[in-house]
Amino acid sequence: MKKNGIRCVAIHIVLFLIGVSVNVTAAEIYKYVDEDGVIHFTDSPTKDEMVLYIKTGPENAKAYPYTPDKYDDIILKASRENGLSFSLIKAIIKVESDFNTYAISRMGAKGLMQIMPKNMKELHINDPYNPYENIMGGTLYLKKMLIRFEGQLILALAAYNAGPTVVEKYNAIPPYKETRHYVDKVLKYNYKYK
């Protein structure tokens, strides 16, 4: 049985490595050791005993070739459909993911515009790593923040980063270093991309 278990592990590892080299997609790979000592890897955990083994994210950005102009056509479409500035949308993408389609934040936000899973359904996003869906959904979310904060760009950007309820609580940029830095960076890149 041990011999079969070792063979099974070898097959799983080879398939896993082939999958990583062929499919350039974000992945969460889980590991599970069964009662016979056979190690299993999967991207669809079905047991509580399965533990996260590998997770792609911003630290893997260099593995995915990109250019800052790659998504300009989608950004332009999102800009026109939502009545928002092309340069502002592009600035948010730069700051959120540095144009890495497969970026995952430590909080679980995904894709180019770093959409939180809880917001995906409302924003019509089925695949957060699909550039079109992510940019269209992220732009819609930004528009909602601008409406919620009556066109006050600074507050809308703070809400995009920290969440709208926190911004409403302070009625200003929250006193979080990360959020203040985020707003400053987006404004800087917005000016640069104009």
Domain that holds residue 117: 72-193
Q: Do 81 and 166 fall into the same domain?
A: yes
Q: Note if the pTM is more than 0.75.
A: no
User: Is residue 34 helix, strand or coil?
Assistant: coil
Is 64 among the domain residues?
A: no
User: In Å, what is the CA distance from 27 to each residue of 13, 34, 46, 96?
Assistant: 15, 22, 16, 19
Of these residues, 28, 35, 96, 178, which one is catalytic?
Answer: 96
Q: Would you place residue 106 in the very low, low, confident or very high pLDDT band (cuts 50, 70, 90)?
A: confident
Q: Tell me whether residue 96 is one of the annotated catalytic residues.
A: yes
Q: Do 37 and 113 fall into the same domain?
A: no
- Count up the domains in the chain and report the number: 2
| Strand 51-55 to 39-42 pairing | unpaired
Q: Do 86 and 134 fall into the same domain?
A: yes
Q: List pLDDT tens digits, range 32-88.
A: 677 777 776 676 666 666 665 555 554 444 445 567 899 999 999 999 999 999 999
Q: Phi first, then psi: what are they for 41, rounded to 5°?
A: -120, 140
